[in-house]
Amino acid sequence: MVARKLNKMIAEHPTLLRNKGGGSRPLLVILDRNADLITPFQHASTYQALIDDLLTHKANRVEFVVTQDAGGKRPKQIPKKFDLDPDEDPFYNAHKFQPFPEAIESNGVELQEVKTREQEVRSKAVGGGGETSIMPDPMANAANDLATAVDSLPALLDQKKQLEMHTSILQAVMNEVAARDVPQFYELESSLATGSYKNDLGQAKKDVIALAGDPSKGNVEDKIRLVMVFCLATAAKSADIDEVTQAMQKGVESMEGVDRVAREKVQVGIKAVQYLKQLRSMHMIPSMADMMTTEVDSSAGAGLSSFMAKATTQATGFLAKATDRVSSLLGKIHKHHATRVVENLCEMKPGTEDEDFLYLDPKVKGEVDVAKLRTMTRSPVREVITFMIGGGCYAEYQNLQMVATDRRSVSYGSTELIDASQFLAQLGQLG
């Protein structure tokens, strides 16, 4: 319905059909959130998606609290706020799509390089007035080189400040990753979504109960999200889902410091699970086993080995402390449902959505004959616009970039951009 209305609007618009550049037109792929309810619930593994998942993040502003030692007194809670703009932040632009461990490593390497360059510049100059009163070293012979180096100091200091900001953000994310055992949830959810338990639902239930029912693992929402993925990604019976939900509820009740807010979240989660069970009973959502495909990245193993080696050689710093916690966030690539669909359409793969999806062209009256279209030579897709009707998320947006190439750009939009907590609340209201 949405596609047909949009197609009609473009066809009747006096200017939208003008192809001034003469090049190929973009492919607009319209998807429905109901076709993939798993992705918004899954824990992420990339830097930007983890920021949005684990910290307070809205309109490119990230907020968190840093605990500072007060010398034997009660630790100070210092709020931090940073604005993240990929266009103005080279590190964020380069590493926002990277797996979290790689972002940690890159930050450490780049920060060390900047500090070394800063020290080299300062060693060429003497003066007691700080950066504003730098005087030439009388032993220096290359005055022009010195002047150039001194002129570069402000830019180096700005870069250093930016990298130190990311060190703080990475530390805040790492604290949440470690405290909530995020890699364990990420690994189990990925196994469920990729169909690893398809032939052993009993083991799937056992593993989910063990993690969701453990009061020392994750927070309330982590446990609920795992139950939601189990409900969506397996063909488990209603009784099994109820058993897993009860284990989750007991796990929350056994957590230290559980309060009224936590119990209210559990009730919202239970309502959301009941809503999904209703949809399943009415066959209103597709079977979501194998919603993701797993591809072993040939470079991932080497990257993981390199990361582990560097971490073990550094006795200090949070990179070394992070090793055991985050290593499972690196090593495999998972293609989400939206990514698989868009890739199949772009590559025009037979036996996929390319044969099933409705094709519309504003320059053609009525629907396009897909069978006839497949016998024609089609131009390569140079630009893709993917729009999700319903809640979109950073993990889905980033995963779609796997389809992007040097000759193809991929844009992403959605009715609204939500995190797992907001999506859970929406389903809870429907339940």
Q: Are residues 347 and 414 in the same domain?
A: yes
Task: Give the per-residue pLDDT at 135.
Answer: 52
Task: Quote the strand ranges of 135-210, DSSP E.
Answer: 135-136
Q: What is the mean pLDDT of residues 392-406?
A: 93
Last residue of a domain, one of 281, 305, 323: 281
Task: Give the per-residue pLDDT at 128.
Answer: 42
- Determine, yes or no, domain membership for 306: no
Q: Please give the structure tokens belonging to residue 142.
A: 């290359």
- Determine, yes or no, domain membership for 416: yes
CA 347 to chain CA centroid, Å, is: 24
Number of H helices, E strands in the chain: 18, 10
Task: Flag whether pLDDT at 88 surpasses 70.
Answer: yes
**Most trustworthy range by pLDDT among 128-142, 233-247, 283-297, 307-321:** 233-247
- Domain CATH for 363: 3.40.50.1910
- Determine, yes or no, domain membership for 17: yes
Task: Flag whether pLDDT at 424 surpasses 70.
Answer: yes
Query: How sure is the predictor about 144, in pLDDT bands with cuts at 50, 70 and 90?
Result: low
Rounded Cα gap, residues 44 and 357, in angstroms: 29
Last residue of a domain, one of 246, 266, 281: 281
- Determine, yes or no, domain membership for 123: no
Query: How sure is the predictor about 219, in pLDDT bands with cuts at 50, 70 and 90?
Result: very high
- Determine, yes or no, domain membership for 260: yes
Rg of the chain on CA atoms, in Å: 26
> Could you read off the pLDDT of 359-394 as tens digits, one per residue?
988 888 777 887 777 777 788 899 999 999 999 999
Query: How sure is the predictor about 101, in pLDDT bands with cuts at 50, 70 and 90?
Result: confident
Count up the domains in the chain and report the number. Answer: 2
- Determine, yes or no, domain membership for 143: no
Amino acid at 123: S
Residue-number span of the structural domain to which 255 is assigned: 195-281
Q: Please give the structure tokens belonging to residue 379.
A: 């131009």
Whether this model's pTM surpasses 0.95: no
Q: Please give the structure tokens belonging to residue 383.
A: 């630009």
- Determine, yes or no, domain membership for 100: no
- Determine, yes or no, domain membership for 27: yes
Answer whether 26's CB lies under 8 Å from 410's CB.
no
CA distances from 405 to 38, 342, 353 (A): 26, 13, 21
